With several copies, the nearest count.
Chain A
Amino acid sequence: MPKSEDKLIDKNGLRIDGRKLDELRSTKIEVGVLSNADGSAYIEQGKNKILAAFYGPHEVHPKHLALPDRSLLKCRYHMAPFSVDERKSPAPSRRDIELSMVIRQALEPSIFLEYYPRTSIDLFIEILQAHGGTRCAGITVASLALADGGIPLRDLTVACAAGKVEGKLVVDLSDDEDKKGEADVPLAFMPNLNAITLLQMDGQLTVTEFEKVVDLALEGCKQLYKIQKESLKAKYVVGEGE
């Protein structure tokens, strides 16, 4: 049930930002944008602006956290105070802590952590501007930051949400669609491995709707995966095809 009088989808079936139901937001990715970090990438997905970077593998502090058989992946999802309408306090919220955890769990399966025992990889995702779907865009860009830094990956991880807005199933929900829509299903995926590594849902969907939404999200992931690969190519394969 829509929670507001504003129409999110017009009579032509277009969404408030002019997109079709199965259309992703305009997405730009740049790899290798920071000079200090060991790997970094930047994404603009609609009005989302997100920077990801990591340091490592390096020694673990404090030492007793080190794992004997693999690297310890740490992850911090953090929002700039000016990234949202109402200024956000810099202290991590409960939402920030949950998202840091599920993002870490979404990325872990893609990394050959066993190559670097007793070390840690410290991954930072900075939300400079938030407009719906930041956890997914954060995963998409963080995976590229890891690739940029030469961390060996089983596959890139890509993430995209789908959901239900005013009775229609749509992909890649923006902020308004997320807040006023009926359901939101963020999903992370490794396309070559056919592996879903993040799945959450808010809202209400029948089982049948849910299956369709999962397929929409997977389709979105596949499109974004192409953009991911192109962004790597743009950085590393200057002047030639794949």
Chain B
Amino acid sequence: MIIRIRQKQIAQLMSNGERLDGREFEKYREIKLEMGVIEKAEGSARILLGKTEVLVGVKIGVGTPFPDTPDKGVLTVNAELVPLASPMFEPGPPRENAIELARVVDRGIRESNAIDLEKLCLVPGKTVLVVFVDLYVLNYDGNLIDASAIAALAALLNAKMSKYEIEDGEVKVKPGYIQLPIQNYPIAVTFAEIDGKLIIDPSLEEEMVMDARLTITFEKDGKICAIQKGGTGQFTREQIVDVVKIAEGKSLEIRKLVVKD
């Protein structure tokens, strides 16, 4: 019931072109990004997107490749919605929201070939490097996908890994570190649909009343590399085409915050 009332208020505001927190429809909240915050991780980044706070750690280990990609390293993205981040989160194994979050971020990284996985192969079919990207949500105030995707890219760019060599069939660690080979920079841009109108970077209050969500991820050359519609609402073909165009421009702006030339 409370949600219904809130929905009306927000829709009312939006019909006047306004949002609860005073933002324009196509404006992100302030993004604060800090890299290298966890020294024990090979790479790390902490993002504040408004009050949404996500910490991403990258760990690199030795493992076996998937049978169908014997000459490539392995990428594993995992999300934890730890319960201190929100009264809505509960301890325990990841549920569908955490799984969706991890998989959408994974898709952006994977489909844009952001990591040059072929460089992570040590012995084809036997031994490769495994890149664990752990999304750790510390405060939930809406739009976890964009915040996590940005922080994940930043953590990957921040990641240094040991030099590995194979000697007599055994993995040896050599002195020194090299950069994790990153060759693309996927950026996710998320919209919420409320009462037929589309706003970017929804806050938690906006997410609570939204009908549907649409995330478009762009790679550095302006191609779309992942899309995810969420929520139980619907879009028209025209809405989608519009959203894609706005998202394309936004992705350029955000990429500049993460990737310094």
Contacts and interface: CB of A to CB of B under 8 A. Distances in A.
Direct interface between A and B, CB < 8 A: yes
Interface majority SS (helix, strand, loop, mixed), chain B? mixed
B86 interface: yes
Contacts of A81: 57, 59, 78, 80, 132, 134, 136
A90 B92 CA distance: 9
| Chain A interface residue bracket vs B | 35 or more
Interface residues of B, number: 63
Interface in B94-141: 94-96, 99-100, 102-103, 107, 111-112, 132, 134, 136, 138-141
Contacts of A85: 40
A82 B40 contact: yes
Interface of A: 34-37, 40, 47, 49, 51-55, 76, 78, 80-87, 90-91, 94-95, 97-98, 100-102, 104-105, 108-109, 122, 124, 126, 128-131, 185, 190, 193-207, 210-211, 214-215, 218
Contacts of B228: 199-201
Contacts of B44: 82
A85 B57 CA distance: 12
B174 interface: no
Interface of B: 37-41, 44, 51, 53, 55, 57-59, 61, 78, 80, 82-87, 91, 93-96, 99-100, 102-103, 107, 111-112, 132, 134, 136, 138-141, 214, 219, 222-237, 240-241, 244-245, 248
Contacts of A34: 53, 84-85, 138-139
A103 to B, nearest CB: 11
B18 to A, nearest CB: 23
A84 B83 contact: no
Nearest to B86: A36
Contact of B226 (A37, A122, A124, A201): A201
A76 B236 CA distance: 26
B139 A82 contact: no
B134 A80 contact: yes
A85 B39 CA distance: 10
A98 B100 contact: yes
In the complex, the 10 A-B pairs of residues with the closest C-beta atoms, listed nearest first: A82-B57, A201-B227, A195-B234, A53-B84, A124-B84, A82-B41, A87-B59, A199-B229, A108-B232, A81-B134
B223 A205 contact: yes
Contacts of A90: 78, 80, 93-94
A53 B85 CA distance: 9
A185 B55 CA distance: 30
Contact of A82 (B100, B111, B134, B227): B134
Given A36-B86, A51-B138, A76-B83, A109 B234 contact: yes
Nearest to A78: B82
A94 B103 contact: yes
A92 B248 CA distance: 35
A18 to B, nearest CB: 17
Contacts of B59: 81-82, 87
A169 B136 CA distance: 37
Helix, strand, loop or mixed for chain A's interface?
mixed
Given A80-B57, A207-B224, A35 B139 contact: yes
Contact of B136 (A80, A124, A194, A210): A80
7 contacts: A34-B53, A35-B139, A36-B51, A37-B84, A81-B78, A128-B55, A196-B237
B229 A196 contact: yes
A52 B248 CA distance: 38
B224 A204 contact: yes
Nearest to B68: A179
Most chain A CB inside 10 Å of its own CB: which residue of B94, B102, B134: B134
A24 B240 CA distance: 24
B78 A105 contact: no
B227 A185 contact: yes
Contacts of B138: 34, 51, 126
B38 A49 contact: yes
Nearest to B51: A35
Residue of B37, B44, B99, B240 with highest tally of chain A CB at under 10 A? B99
